[in-house]
């Protein structure tokens, strides 16, 4: 037994084709004199082949609808709820109806992010188990975390006097970087979400803008450093009442 030492790890590297040609040749030489190890190596190679035979066909299976992520509709595959499926059929072609004042220069920009806010609402508000990443019981942590990620100090409005309690919040990817979403619910578990993002034009402010599609209404506005979008499947008057309260709290 004057041959080179072969480790177990090397036998596997040999099976996986991860060794140099020279070392592989040495292993082959070793295996020629060790039938037991040679049989093991042969069995491991057969395992690899069997695994690939068995599971490679999965690569060619058509994707079920729930796993499809078509371009440009980043949330399309998420839906577990009909509300979201309804968004899909809208596609990009159908315009987002604006029912309120809008400045012409920021029209497309404004509608795009309001639409993202509404989609995020439709996706997360029906969620039973994981509606938020950080719950209201850790409100200080939630605010500190999201403030850090957005790069500016956030304030989370309290809507208790309107009958809505904070559920918590989560971080979302936005068009221009991280976005915060706070979720509220009332006693009947009706949920509203407040989507907060950085305002690219820090100085601008806007009036309340309103958009509505598929039963989800959105009031959105710019307030210097931040843009806010309040979404909910409630009537417009109720949504405006809450939006006004939020705006008031953020601008005491």
Task: Please tell me the distance from the alpha carbon of residue 108 to that of residue 103, in angstroms, as a whole number.
Answer: 10
Q: How far apart are CA 249 and CA 240, in angstroms?
A: 14
CB of 75 to other proteins, least distance (A): 8
State in angstroms the smallest separation of the CB of 205 from other proteins. Answer: 26
Q: How far is the CB of 3 from other proteins (least distance, A)?
A: 12
> Of the two residues 53 and 188, which places its CB atom closer to other proteins in the complex?
53
Question: With respect to other proteins, which residue has the nearer C-beta, 155 or 176?
Answer: 176
d(CA 149, CA 197): 11
61 vs 187, beta carbon nearer other proteins: 61
Closest Cα partner for 208 from 223, 224, 219?
219
Q: In what order do the strands lie in the sheet with 209-213?
A: 134-135, 165-174, 177-185, 191-198, 226-232, 216-223, 209-213
* Smallest distance, other proteins to C-beta of residue 143, A: 19
The smaller minimum CB distance to other proteins, of residues 91 and 177, is found at: 177
Name the helix (H) or strand (E) containing 173. strand 165-174
Question: What is the contact surface with other proteins in residues (CB under 8 A)?
Answer: 5-9, 11-13, 15-16, 18, 36-37, 40, 43-44, 47-48, 50-52, 54-56, 58-61, 63-64, 66-67, 69-75, 77-78, 170-173, 175-178
């Amino acid at each position: 037994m004057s041959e080179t030492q072969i480790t177990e790890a090397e036998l596997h590297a040999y099976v996986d084709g991860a060794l140099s040609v020279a070392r592989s040749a040495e292993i082959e030489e070793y295996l020629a004199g060790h039938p037991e190890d040679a049989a093991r190596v042969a069995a491991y190679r057969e395992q690899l082949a069997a695994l690939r035979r068995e599971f490679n066909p999965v690569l060619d299976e058509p994707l079920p609808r729930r796993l499809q992520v078509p371009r440009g509709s980043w949330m399309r595959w998420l839906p577990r709820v009909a509300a979201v499926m309804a968004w899909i059929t809208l596609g990009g072609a159908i315009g987002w109806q604006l029912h309120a004042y809008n400045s012409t220069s920021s029209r497309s920009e404004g509608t795009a992010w309001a639409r993202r806010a509404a989609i995020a609402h439709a996706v997360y508000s029906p969620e039973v188990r994981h509606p938020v990443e950080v719950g209201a019981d850790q409100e200080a942590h939630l605010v500190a975390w999201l403030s850090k990620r957005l790069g500016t100090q956030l304030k989370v409005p309290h809507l208790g006097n309107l009958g809505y309690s904070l559920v918590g919040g989560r971080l979302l990817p936005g068009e221009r970087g991280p976005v915060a979403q706070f979720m509220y619910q009332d006693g009947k578990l009706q949920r509203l979400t407040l989507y907060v993002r950085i305002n690219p034009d820090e100085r601008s402010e806007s009036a309340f803008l309103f958009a509505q599609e598929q039963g989800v209404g959105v009031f959105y506005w710019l307030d210097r450093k931040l843009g806010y979008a309040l979404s909910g499947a409630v009537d417009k008057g109720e949504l405006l009442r809450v939006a006004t309260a939020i705006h008031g709290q953020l601008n005491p």
